[in-house]
Amino acid sequence: MPVSSVESTIDAGFVARHAELARGYGGGGDPADPTLVQAMQMVLHIPKADPPRRNALLAAAASAVVELCLDERVGPDGEWEERYLTWKRSRIRKVARRARGTQWLAAQDVDGVTVEFEGAQARALVPGAVGEIDPRIKRLQIGGTELEADEPNSIIGGYPTLWVNSELGMTVGKAAAQVGHASMLLAGFMPVQQAHAWSARGFRCNVAEADPQHWAQLQRRVAEGSAVAVRDAGFTEVAPGSMTVIAVQMN
């Protein structure tokens, strides 16, 4: 199949990484040994004083996930390739943990990608077996700290928007995992040229809450094929098959 003239101007490594992402994820079942279950750990910086806006933190988390998934180190012959592909081709999971102070600083030394957006910071770590989580990450709390919902939604034009289903009342950790799924799906859904252009803008995105009326409109876009949706496996917080996030590309 011939490569388009536009695609030929993009680094071949990026094209290969995008092609892998565009194939989708999952398909494999869980291993018999529960310690070998694969998960991507996500670290959310939530300081006690002056915590970030909820949607800004979720946007940072979503950008960090897709940036890691298209990082050259997960591509062919990259140092993270084997760990990434083992996770991506299994029953995919993400686990969000909170950190502050020295915990956050320590997390920077664990393989991964950090993104900052409007003062909010999140780090997506290279996936691996849950039985082999770095001790600096394993000690971080999964639940607990919550952030108030933003009001009103702040949408920056020209960037993709990840709409969160407000009816589900997800915690910030659960929502972070879901927008991480959404950013992966959206990047794979985009033609490689658009995904590359998005990467040049740091994978910046909006995250906003959708009320029931808007959610119904977004569901119609999913049915039409102009938006992508995350349907949760139902391991935590929400029922299996729940549509949690709908991602819309904005021009």
What band does 229 get if pLDDT is binned at 50, 70 and 90? very high
Between residues 24 and 160, the one the model is more confident about: 160
63 touches 180 (CB < 8 A): no
Q: What is the pLDDT of residues 190-217, one digit of tens each?
A: 999 999 999 999 999 999 999 999 999 9
In a domain, 3, yes or no: no
Structure tokens at 79: 């140092």
123 touches 107 (CB < 8 A): yes
Residue 199: count of CB within 10 angstroms of its CB: 18
Count Cβ neighbours within 10 Å for each residue of 73-107 and write b for 16 or more, e otherwise.
bbbeeeebbebbeebbbbbbbbbbbbbbeebbebb
Question: Looking at residues 63-74, what average pLDDT do you find?
Answer: 98
In a domain, 35, yes or no: yes
Is the pLDDT at 179 greater than 50? The verdict is: yes
Question: Looking at residues 46-70, what average pLDDT do you find?
Answer: 96
In a domain, 156, yes or no: yes
In a domain, 5, yes or no: no
Is the pLDDT at 167 greater than 80? The verdict is: yes
Structure tokens at 88: 């991506």
Distance of CA 203 to the CA centre of its chain: 11
In a domain, 2, yes or no: no
- Report the predicted TM-score, pTM, of the whole model to 2 decimal places: 0.93
What band does 1 get if pLDDT is binned at 50, 70 and 90? very low
Predicted confidence at residue 45, as pLDDT, reads 97
* Residue carrying structure tokens 């998934």: 69
Range of the domain at 242: 10-248
Structure tokens at 45: 């910086």
Predicted confidence at residue 239, as pLDDT, reads 73
Q: What is the pLDDT of residues 92-108, one digit of tens each?
A: 899 999 999 999 999 99
Distances (CA, A) of 17 to 158, 219, 247: 24, 29, 20
Over the chain, what is the mean pLDDT?
92
Predicted confidence at residue 149, as pLDDT, reads 81
Nearest alpha-carbon partner for 123 in 156, 99, 147: 99
Question: Looking at residues 52-60, what average pLDDT do you find?
Answer: 96
In a domain, 4, yes or no: no
Is the pLDDT at 250 greater than 60? The verdict is: yes
CATH of residue 152's domain is 3.40.1490.10
Is the pLDDT at 5 greater than 60? The verdict is: no
Tell me what percent of the residues of the chain surpass a pLDDT of 70.
95
Predicted confidence at residue 152, as pLDDT, reads 66
In a domain, 166, yes or no: yes
Between residues 27 and 64, the one the model is more confident about: 64
Nearest alpha-carbon partner for 43 in 203, 171, 165, 173: 173
Count Cβ neighbours within 10 Å for each residue of 111-140 and write b for 16 or more, e otherwise.
ebbbbbbeebbbbbbbbbbbeebeebbeeb
Angle between helices 172-189 and 54-69 (to 10 degrees): 40
36 touches 131 (CB < 8 A): yes
In a domain, 1, yes or no: no
Q: At 120, give phi and psi (nearest 5°).
A: -95, 140
Predicted confidence at residue 148, as pLDDT, reads 85
Is the pLDDT at 7 greater than 60? The verdict is: no
Structure tokens at 42: 């996500």
* Residues composing the chain: 251
Count of the separate structural domains present in the chain:
1
Tell me what percent of the residues of the chain surpass a pLDDT of 90.
78
